[in-house]
Chain A
Amino acid sequence: MPIEIKMPALSPTMEEGTLAKWLVKEGDVVKAGDIMAEIETDKATMEFEAVDEGTIGKIMVAEGSDGVKVGTVIALLNGDDEEAGDSTPAPAPAATPAKEEAKPAPAPAQAPKPAEPKAAPRAAGDRIKASPLARRLAADKGIDLSGVTGSGPNGRIVKADLDKAPAKAAAPTAAAASAPAATPAPTPTPAQVPDIPHDATKLTNMRKTIARRLTESKQQVPHIYLTVDVQLDKLLKLRGELNAGLESRGVKLSVNDLLIKALAVSLIQVPKCNVMFTPDQLISFQRADISVAVSTPDGLITPVITEADSASLSSISTRMKDLAARARDKKLKPEEFAGGTASISNMGMFGIKQFEAVINPPQGMILAVGAGEKRPWVMGDGTLGVASIMSATGSFDHRAIDGADGAQLMQAFRDLVENPLAMLA
């Protein structure tokens, strides 16, 4: 009986994807772990591995097809029993995943019981123990139960655990997915395209997601903007000195690496800004994971530097280089661009003096960094001089963060950049 291979859900928010490329063809023999196809999700291109052994019987969805709904049968795999004949004994049952009993739900009954291809790389045997009510509540609130500590018998997650401490659990992505994901991207009635010679490019999934998320942010999150001018000279000097010492290790810190660190440390110093707003709770994070905006040919993506507040500068720098490179190749794993407690976006390299960024929900703030440039500057002693100055603007979710708290964060950020040794301490 052929095994149905279905379109996998490769990220928590994925509802459909593009079957970018088949790496196998009909008649190929695959074993578990072989890469069968590349699938483009809303954020990245992912490799799709086989979980069963067998021969590709039929490819049902041609490569290049987009909008393939999760769960759609994309190929049929003939199991060993069909193609191996009687010479080989039946394979160890462990190799084939347990066939899921089809629930007598509304789903139209299909003759062969489908074997679910395991999509997410979850370790086997990691069943989450949670009460039915806790599961229901978590689903409603968009809380990922894998991050919740259960207080019930044998660590069972119960209702009270969700009431008490969703803070750690509520991975920002999950929360974001809950409410807005249900509403499809705002697709206004097809605009009247004026009769001017033009090219029409089909929107990629990534572009659609960007459109949806940014629209939601601007519509639902009241932004306030706070700008400071920051003197960079000491930071540039420190960077030079550090890089001289780090050269032998092949590490070269960028200004942006230092700014990531400064933002993370200031978020810890002003915890009221390291927050997330949910309908009935304010979540305060205990570490700062910084999403860093990286521009790619297809659009913006925000890989996350986790624990940036406590990470060393060299670690931030090394990780950032790797993430940015893979972001441009669309090889980021979903967990690498999900989460983050705040964002930073730097347009200094384009000579932008100052700008206001759109908050990346459900985060509470984003820092927009302009170019560092020589400007006339009133020095500490009151004389007029020339200094390297950079304008930085924080956008804050005003539902969660008061103006004065945002101002404190900007002040802390400026102090750290102007006295950069403090953030190394």
Chain B
Amino acid sequence: MADTYDLIVLGSGPGGYVAAIRGAQLGLKVAIVERERLGGICLNWGCIPTKALLRTSEIYHYMTHAADYGLKAENIGFDLGKIVERSRKVSGQLNAGVKGLMKKNKITVVEGFGTITAKGKMSVKQGNGTVELEAKHILVATGARARDLPFAKADGKRIWTYRHAMVPEVMPTKLLVIGSGAIGVEFASFYNDMGADVTIVEMLPRILPVEDEEVSAFMEKRLTKDGIKIVTGAGVEKIDTGADGVKATIKGKDGASTTEDYSHVIVAIGIVPNTEEIGLEKLGVATDRGHIKVDGFGRTNVEGIYAIGDVTGAPWLAHKASHEGIVCVEKLAGGNPHAFETWNIPGCTYSRPQVASVGLTEAKAKEAGRDIKVGKFPFIGNGKAIALGEADGFIKTVFDAKTGELLGAHMVGAEVTELIQGYVVARQLETTEHELMETVFAHPTLSEMMHESVLGAYGRAIHF
């Protein structure tokens, strides 16, 4: 006898568990199926534990630079095991939090590997048997995993994915990071601050290639100054694993190949959606290059089957998955939400310095044929930034010259991942430069730079 629900959510990452809670709020009887740990990659192996690690490296950085603040710190060191332990504890706490949320919302948690066997039917393989579930709506939120290099599969010993990189048993001495998206740059920043010798290899001409070109250029300069070696326009051709390290052959911009020894490699070249063995092919669910094809409400081509989050495609961000999940569930529950759109999803990189952005880059805005006004305000012009000893970075805003629409905002520097939300709200409310200029910003704050950047776009910046 199968247990019957209104909604089964397959996968309990930030897309799935949020969707499940929204469903329960709307009065649906919801089951959530998870093969591993509630909370998915995000809070077990992604966003959250890495933030815990980066907090450690940040504090360590301040300790090694204590003298800059008039402090004395001697015999500074660290215990790698304790660092990882703290990160795992943070994950554990949040994992328990999601469990509590499931219970509070009366959502049935089914542990095991779920496969859709027919429309409205799911079979969940558990240790020694299976559980059959039925529901009118099945939401696939299975996420994605790290993409492997075709010639060097991650082994967890010398070749790591993010998953290995966040639970190191030894500190790499010489680390090669392949790929310079948010994940690659964050790990590079962490290990560099912890004292490893780090090299980043990026195939495209610049690091953080989705960010504004000025942000990429700034980060390349700054990370290089902090000791990271950055090789762009270059590809890794070969990795030979030996007993005490790897030999990596990198073909540079000029076409010449060089081989160098590294103690460890982190592969951060993108993701592969998790679509295998969950029954999609049998039902004829349409995919596009591995990602499930959906409309603005997460509906696939098969009635009753929905998908959200990484498994449906870029941007691969937890907050995108959560929002998609809410829209999808509200719609299937008979509500009338707005279709999901990607125009206002912020992106953050939690390296030191941080990077945050939303909307169009300057180049993309120009490509789109917009007549633009650009404002850029440097941290060095902000009192709070100087007081913090973080006078490096800038905030850039891109406006449509004709309508005053805030097309994009791009930030690099201390704490910018907490600042970006101001602009995201502004864009969601469709403010123009006028409202932003009229807003009073508290002094002294880093946020004042957001004001100055807007003023700057119209030639009115006060402190620069």
Query: Which residues of the other chain, A, contact B430 by a CB distance below 8 angstroms?
Result: 131-134, 158-159
A39 to chain B, nearest CB (A): 33
Nearest-CB residue, chain A, relative to B402 = A140
Answer yes or no: A326 CB below 8 A from chain B CBs.
no
Tally of A interface residues using CB under 8 Å: 10
One digit per residue, 1 when the CB lies within 8 angstroms of any chain B CB and 0 when it does not, for chain A 127-162 equals: 000011110110010000000000100000011000
B304 to chain A, nearest CB (A): 27
Contact A151 B432 (CB under 8 A): no
Contact B403 A140 (CB under 8 A): yes
A164 to chain B, nearest CB (A): 13
A93 to chain B, nearest CB (A): 28
One digit per residue, 1 when the CB lies within 8 angstroms of any chain A CB and 0 when it does not, for chain B 399-418 equals: 00011110000000000000
Query: Which residues of the other chain, B, contact A137 by a CB distance below 8 angstroms?
Result: 403
Query: Which residues of the other chain, A, contact B431 by a CB distance below 8 angstroms?
Result: 131-133
Q: Report the Cα distance A134→B429, complex, angstroms.
A: 10
Contact B404 A136 (CB under 8 A): yes
Query: Which residues of the other chain, A, contact B338 by a CB distance below 8 angstroms?
Result: 151
Q: Report the Cα distance A137→B430, complex, angstroms.
A: 11
Q: Report the Cα distance A158→B431, complex, angstroms.
A: 10
Query: Which residues of the other chain, B, contact A133 by a CB distance below 8 angstroms?
Result: 403-405, 430-432
Answer yes or no: B103 CB below 8 A from chain A CBs.
no
A163 to chain B, nearest CB (A): 12
Contact A159 B405 (CB under 8 A): yes
B369 to chain A, nearest CB (A): 12
Tell me if A's interface is mostly helix, strand, loop or mixed.
helix
Query: Which residues of the other chain, B, contact A159 by a CB distance below 8 angstroms?
Result: 405, 430
Query: Interface residue tally of chain B, by bracket?
Result: 10 to 19
Q: Report the Cα distance A137→B429, complex, angstroms.
A: 14
Contact A136 B403 (CB under 8 A): yes
Q: Report the Cα distance A134→B404, complex, angstroms.
A: 11
A149 to chain B, nearest CB (A): 14
B373 to chain A, nearest CB (A): 14
B433 to chain A, nearest CB (A): 9
Nearest-CB residue, chain A, relative to B435 = A132
Answer yes or no: B460 CB below 8 A from chain A CBs.
no
Q: Report the Cα distance A271→B392, complex, angstroms.
A: 61
One digit per residue, 1 when the CB lies within 8 angstroms of any chain B CB and 0 when it does not, for chain A 162-200 equals: 000000000000000000000000000000000000000
A165 to chain B, nearest CB (A): 16
Q: Report the Cα distance A18→B430, complex, angstroms.
A: 40
One digit per residue, 1 when the CB lies within 8 angstroms of any chain B CB and 0 when it does not, for chain A 370-411 equals: 000000000000000000000000000000000000000000
Question: Which of chain B's residues 6-25 have a Cβ closer than 8 Å to chain A?
Answer: none
Nearest-CB residue, chain A, relative to B436 = A132
Question: Which of chain A's residues 76-131 have a Cβ closer than 8 Å to chain B?
Answer: 131
Query: Which residues of the other chain, B, contact A158 by a CB distance below 8 angstroms?
Result: 430
Q: Report the Cα distance A137→B431, complex, angstroms.
A: 12
One digit per residue, 1 when the CB lies within 8 angstroms of any chain A CB and 0 when it does not, for chain B 364-404 equals: 00000000000000000000000000000000000000111
Q: Report the Cα distance A151→B338, complex, angstroms.
A: 9
Query: Which residues of the other chain, A, contact B153 by a CB distance below 8 angstroms?
Result: none
B383 to chain A, nearest CB (A): 26
B422 to chain A, nearest CB (A): 16
Nearest-CB residue, chain B, relative to A141 = B403
Query: Which residues of the other chain, A, contact B404 by a CB distance below 8 angstroms?
Result: 132-133, 136
Answer yes or no: B434 CB below 8 A from chain A CBs.
yes
Residues of B within 8 A of A (CB): 338, 402-405, 429-432, 434-435
Could you pull out 20 A-B pairs where Cβ atoms are within 8 angstroms?
Answer: A131-B430, A131-B431, A132-B404, A132-B429, A132-B435, A133-B403, A133-B404, A133-B430, A133-B431, A134-B430, A136-B404, A136-B405, A136-B432, A137-B403, A140-B402, A140-B403, A151-B338, A158-B430, A159-B405, A159-B430
Given known contacts A132-B430, A133-B403, what 8 new A-B pairs fall within 8 Å (CB)? A131-B431, A132-B429, A133-B405, A133-B432, A136-B403, A136-B404, A140-B402, A151-B338
**Pairs of residues from A and B, 6 with the lowest C-beta to C-beta distance, nearest first:** A131-B430, A133-B430, A132-B432, A132-B431, A136-B403, A133-B405
